Amino acid sequence: MPNDPAKLPVARQVATLTATRAQTDDQLLRSWLDSLGSPHTRRNFETTARRFLSELPTGLRQATVEDVRAALASITRGVGNGTARQYALRAKSLLGYAHRFGYTLFNVGAAIKPTKEVRALAKRIVGELDVRDLIRSARSERNRVLLAVTYATGLRVSEIVALNIADVIQRQDGRVQLHIVGKGGKERDVLVPQSLGAALLQACGGRAGTEPVFCSSRGGRRLTERAVNHLVKDLANRAGVNPKLSPHWLRHAHASHSLDRGAPLSLVAGTLGHANVSTTSAYLHAKPGASSGDNLDPKVWG
């Protein structure tokens, strides 16, 4: 059987068995990115994947396990454990996709063992007074409203910069709600606290449609995630709070503080866009209300 794929050379086998039209690594990369969810995810994954591919001495189809390990070692050099884990997972996803659709004969990504995630959530939860000081340190109304809305709604930084005027909905009861397209393209609606709704509507300034809610001070363009990160770092230094604070810490703070004040776990999960309440429950474990050690006899160490 001359057309039997098993009797063809490796390169021919790959070409014969493919379920993708991709003929080059770049085309395969594009196909993989198209399978992902939100634009934010695609941007981050593309950056990592292109760096990874550039470190391979050969193309994906000829890459060995050793090539993959060396490429990962190169792109993760000098980064933290959490970032290194994300890079490894993204490379593993790309390699798995390539094999699953027949672009490569072997899935060399199967040999990638990402480092175990170290959860240090408790270290990233700031107190209510720190959040208050951060927001009060903002010198412009735009920055004040930006930080207040980020904290009060628990939005991701990608979601806050993606907000358009049309996503800010004034209801008949006077409340304001936001229509959010989150990770994986999942949609949800988040109610803005009553005391903040008017300020947010004022920030919209009579604009409409797809114009961004939060614009840069230069030319009215949409704020970028990087700009918001820099802003939070600068204000954290000015307010004298934890200099490691980032926009995502405000999301952590929202979850922790609302649970502390009695919000139901399911409500917090829905507001944050968590698919499973087990994700949200991590905030309960990060700040336990009691310890079995409270039942021990203090005379033992006293």
**222-259: pLDDT as tens digits:** 999 999 999 999 999 999 998 888 998 899 888 888 88
Asked about 251 being catalytic, the answer comes back as yes
Catalytic residue among 99, 156, 254, 257: 156
pTM over 0.75: no
Alpha carbon distance 153, 300 (integer Å)? 46
Asked about 144 being catalytic, the answer comes back as no
Catalytic residue among 124, 251, 252, 257: 251
Residues of the chain with pLDDT under 70: 1-18, 116-123, 219, 284-302
CATH numbers and ranges of domains, the chain: 5-111 (1.10.150), 122-286 (1.10.443.10)
- Tens-digit pLDDT profile for residues 274-293: 887 777 777 766 666 655 55
Beta bridge pairs of residue 168: 178
Q: What pLDDT is stored for residue 288 in this prediction?
A: 61
- The residue with tokens 């919209």 is 204
Asked about 40 being catalytic, the answer comes back as no
Tokens of 268: 């917090």
Asked about 77 being catalytic, the answer comes back as no
| Burial category of 142 from C-beta neighbours within 10 Å (exposed 0-12, middle 13-18, buried 19 and up) | middle
